[in-house]
Amino acid sequence: MRRIILSFCCVVLLAAPAPASDREVGRVRAATEVLEETLNIPDAIPQDLLDKAECVIVVPSTMKFAIGFGGSYGRGVITCRSGPEFNGMWSPPAMMAVEGASFGLQLGGQATDYVFLVMNARGANAVLSSKTRLGVDASVAAGPKGRNATANTDASLRAEILGYSRNRGLFAGISLEGSTLRPDNSATEKLYGRKVTARGIVLENAVGATPEGLRLANLLQNASPKNLSS
């Protein structure tokens, strides 16, 4: 009988998902706080741009770790409107990484938060699938700001990704052309306890949201419940 109980316990332990890494949970929590603060800035991302975005990438408190080109990186999250047409509810987050020379030069040695809006399906499919070079594999531009600002600028209409930064309370559009975005698969595995792709998470409902991920998705769902892109 004792052997049966021990065997049953082993099976339960093997079947249970691994606990999420504290580092990855903290990253999702930090990204949610950055996004919440950004959405509450009066002169921030135009509402009509947010309503037309397919995905949102948030990279909180990025720091330069080495002097020179290519020595900077950031770790954050991506969430998209679910479904193949990007018209469903906002998804649980997958983990993302941003790195490159232009990215490092923009930091100036200070902690900086970044928010990227992915404006069409081509850009979304690119960043969800593999390493994407901004300005090469996907067009990128500094995002216009201001709640009532017109978003119908040439850059906004053409760009697949719009970038924003926040440093010491200052909020601005920024392009980061020459940097790269890529799924952070190892961090995603640690967060959910199993191997799963960014695409599987945000488009195919492959996992349920963690409590922190649910808060992030709900934040965007309340801020922009419907995709208004044409």
Q: 10 Å Cβ neighbour count for 15?
A: 7
End-to-end CA distance of the chain: 64
Q: How far apart are CA 179 and CA 136, in angstroms?
A: 10
Residue 210 scores a pLDDT above 60: yes
Q: Highest mean pLDDT: which of 8-17, 139-148, 198-207? A: 198-207
Select the more confidently predicted residue: 156 or 221. 221
Give the confidence band of 8 by pLDDT, cuts at 50, 70, 90: very low
- Report pLDDT for 155: 55
Q: 10 Å Cβ neighbour count for 178?
A: 16
Q: Highest mean pLDDT: which of 62-66, 105-109, 184-188, 202-206? A: 184-188
Q: How far apart are CA 148 and CA 10, in angstroms?
A: 58
Residue 138 scores a pLDDT above 60: yes
Buried b (16+ CB within 10 A) or exposed e, 187-208: bbbbbbeeebbbbebbbeebbe
pLDDT in tens, 164-179: 988 877 888 888 888 8
Residue 56 scores a pLDDT above 90: yes
Q: How far apart are CA 89 and CA 99, in angstroms?
A: 29
Nearest CA to 95 out of 155, 183, 7 is that of: 183
Confidence (pTM): 0.84
